[in-house]
Chain A
Amino acid sequence: MAQAESYGYTVARLRAMENRLLDSGAFQRMLDAEDLQGALKVLNETCYSSWLVEMKNEGAFDGAIEAELNYVYRETEQFVPDKALVALCKMPYDFHNIKVLLKSSFLQKSGGSRRWDLLTRLGNVTPEFLIESLESEDYRLLPFGLRSAVPQLLAQWEQFHDILEIERQLDDLLFSEMLKLAAKLERKGIVEWVRGRIDAENVRNLLRLRRMQVENSRIAGFLHDGGIISVERLLSLTGEPLESWGRLLAYTDLTGALSQLQEISDFDRLIVDVEKALDDYVLRIVEQTRFSSTSPEYVLYYLWLKEMEAKNVRIILVGKANGASRDVLRGLLRHVSG
């Protein structure tokens, strides 16, 4: 890892780039728009404008959002002293692509069609390379432990046809690879951020599994090791009512996110609220770094803000396209202002 002092330029530049993030006023104007066209018009006045002109039709806004994110990742990669920091943020996209490709391959075998339209260019490895590797069954150059994992998962599918298990194993691998990469960077803040992301995913999984009424004995397999809160501690929550989760984890920073669980009226709405609070929790882990002019963790902070901005834009545009109410959409928006 480069010395923190070498991050002076990087942090300053990202601070200046932060000015281009959409503020609450821009989101408000998008929310106030009558329809999708109106929201896109507002978006056209922002840094997304250069990508919106390339949009073939109104519904293709996902491409514009992805192009803006991709631009920010590429730009940041060019000047950040440790490229691994950006690789860390992009890694989930590589695993997303692998999941899409594996599922497409399974679908194809059962007579379905491939869904390569779901692939993203945001990963560290291009989708073309992944497709070629899978089609030629040459996994040697696949990164992040996928080299050995992919053939194993393919063999497992042939035997059990359990897609949930395959997804679970890929998520496990993703988080262990993220932790490995973070450990190599030798910064406590970076490792804590990854551990926080594992916590957030674990809590999200716990809630989803409870909604699906999965047996407690099966839940352990869906929780990932390495988080700030141990799997054992999280498993002990499964027997408790949701309202007490916040109290039981009061010694952790997660308690703020879990305070949402106090007022349960609609489970679906509750999951959405908690997911939003979990995204804020991940942001808060590296939030203090914005007061330092040389902190490498600030790269994670900025990129996470950008991810949240893209998420907000997507929520508003999808909502507008489907006629969702302004108040519902406002409730879904993440914290973005730096």
Chain B
Amino acid sequence: MDQVVATLLNTMSEQLGAMIAVLGAGIAAGFAGSGSAIGIAIADEAAAGVMTEDPGKFGLALLLLALPGTQGIYGLLAAFFAILKVGLLGGAAVKVTIWQGIGIFGSLMPIAIACYYSAVAQGKASAGAILLISKRPEEIGKAVILPAMVETYAVLALLLSIILMNSIKL
């Protein structure tokens, strides 16, 4: 009986590590995606308002609306890295301990948190930029740069997540 319990616990601990990493991947993709959806919705409202009066601004507005969407992509990218690392997407099966799983989970947190908040903030910045182009369409270059500044922090978070993940030896 004791041997059965020991085998079960051993199997669980082997899989638990991978599952914690998968949980981290899910959170990273989910939070970053949610942030992007909220950010785009904020910018969408502004774009819809401007386009009601001036449908010709669709092209310019689209460029600005797309900006908060990138965080969702970063989250997905980091999640892919994580599940590749634990060998869930083909390749040889990798044994992941609980501590390694927790490490991968932790490495995904910068991308999950920074992408969520930066996407929402970028949505607000994009909405402001859409107001700018509603009055001065010739300033589209500057209008894109302003919300793009927010992007920096999502990129830094992605970079950190990748470095942290790579630092965990399986």
- The contact of A19 among B54, B124, B130, by CB within 8 Å, is B54
By beta carbon, the residue of chain A nearest B126 is A293
Given A8-B49, A15-B50 in contact, is the A293-B131 Cβ separation under 8 Å? yes
A: number of interface residues (CB 8 Å) = 17
Is the CB–CB distance between A16 and B53 below 8 Å?
yes
Given A8-B42, A293-B124, A293-B128 in contact, is the A19-B134 Cβ separation under 8 Å? yes
Is the CB–CB distance between A11 and B49 below 8 Å?
yes
**Contact residues in B for A321 (Cβ distance below 8 Å):** none
- Residue A68 interfacial (CB < 8 Å): no
Is the CB–CB distance between A10 and B49 below 8 Å?
yes
- Residue A184 interfacial (CB < 8 Å): no
**Contact residues in A for B124 (Cβ distance below 8 Å):** 293-294
**Contact residues in B for A11 (Cβ distance below 8 Å):** 46, 49, 131
By beta carbon, the residue of chain B nearest A291 is B128
Given A293-B124, A293-B127, A293-B131 in contact, is the A15-B54 Cβ separation under 8 Å? no
Is the CB–CB distance between B42 and A12 below 8 Å?
no
Is the CB–CB distance between A13 and B53 below 8 Å?
yes
> In the complex, how many angstroms separate the beta carbon of A14 from the nearest chain B beta carbon?
8
**Contact residues in A for B127 (Cβ distance below 8 Å):** 8, 12, 293-294
> In the complex, how many angstroms separate the beta carbon of A312 from the nearest chain B beta carbon?
20
Given A16-B52, A16-B53, A293-B127 in contact, is the A9-B134 Cβ separation under 8 Å? no
Is the CB–CB distance between A8 and B135 below 8 Å?
no
Given A17-B53, A293-B124 in contact, is the A12-B46 Cβ separation under 8 Å? yes
**Contact residues in B for A12 (Cβ distance below 8 Å):** 45-50, 127, 130-131, 134
Report how far A18 CA is from B45 CA in the complex, Å: 17
By beta carbon, the residue of chain A nearest B61 is A12
**Contact residues in B for A293 (Cβ distance below 8 Å):** 46, 124, 127-128, 130-131
By beta carbon, the residue of chain B nearest A18 is B135
**Contact residues in B for A13 (Cβ distance below 8 Å):** 49-50, 52-53
Number of A-B contacts (CB under 8 A): 57
Q: Mark B23-61, 1 if CB is under 8 A from A, else 0.
A: 000000000000000000010011111101110010000
By beta carbon, the residue of chain B nearest A298 is B131
**Contact residues in A for B49 (Cβ distance below 8 Å):** 8-16
Q: Mark A259-295, 1 if CB is under 8 A from B, else 0.
A: 0000000000000000000000000000000000110
Report how far A9 CA is from B124 CA in the complex, Å: 12
Give the interface centre of A12, A14, A15, A18 by most chain B CB atoms within 10 Å: A12
**Contact residues in A for B54 (Cβ distance below 8 Å):** 16, 19
**Contact residues in A for B134 (Cβ distance below 8 Å):** 12, 15-16, 19
Q: Mark B109-137, 1 if CB is under 8 A from A, else 0.
A: 00000000000000010011011001100
Segment 75-134 of B: residues with Cβ below 8 Å from A: 124, 127-128, 130-131, 134
Is the CB–CB distance between A9 and B45 below 8 Å?
yes
**Contact residues in B for A14 (Cβ distance below 8 Å):** 49
Segment 5-34 of A: residues with Cβ below 8 Å from B: 5, 8-20
Give the interface centre of B48, B50, B124 by most chain A CB atoms within 10 Å: B50
Given A18-B135, A293-B127 in contact, is the A8-B45 Cβ separation under 8 Å? yes
Is the CB–CB distance between B47 and A15 below 8 Å?
no
By beta carbon, the residue of chain B nearest A12 is B49
By beta carbon, the residue of chain A nearest B52 is A13
> In the complex, how many angstroms separate the beta carbon of A294 from the nearest chain B beta carbon?
8
> In the complex, how many angstroms separate the beta carbon of B11 from the nearest chain A beta carbon?
49
Given A9-B48, A10-B49 in contact, is the A15-B128 Cβ separation under 8 Å? no
Query: Can you list 17 A-B pairs with a CB-CB distance of less than 8 A?
Result: A8-B42, A8-B45, A8-B49, A10-B49, A11-B49, A12-B131, A12-B134, A13-B50, A13-B53, A15-B135, A16-B52, A16-B53, A16-B54, A293-B127, A293-B130, A293-B131, A294-B127
Query: A residues bordering B, Cβ < 8 Å?
Result: 5, 8-20, 293-294, 338
Which 9 A-B pairs have CB atoms at the shortest separation, nearest pair first?
A12-B49, A8-B45, A16-B53, A13-B49, A12-B46, A9-B49, A293-B127, A9-B45, A16-B134
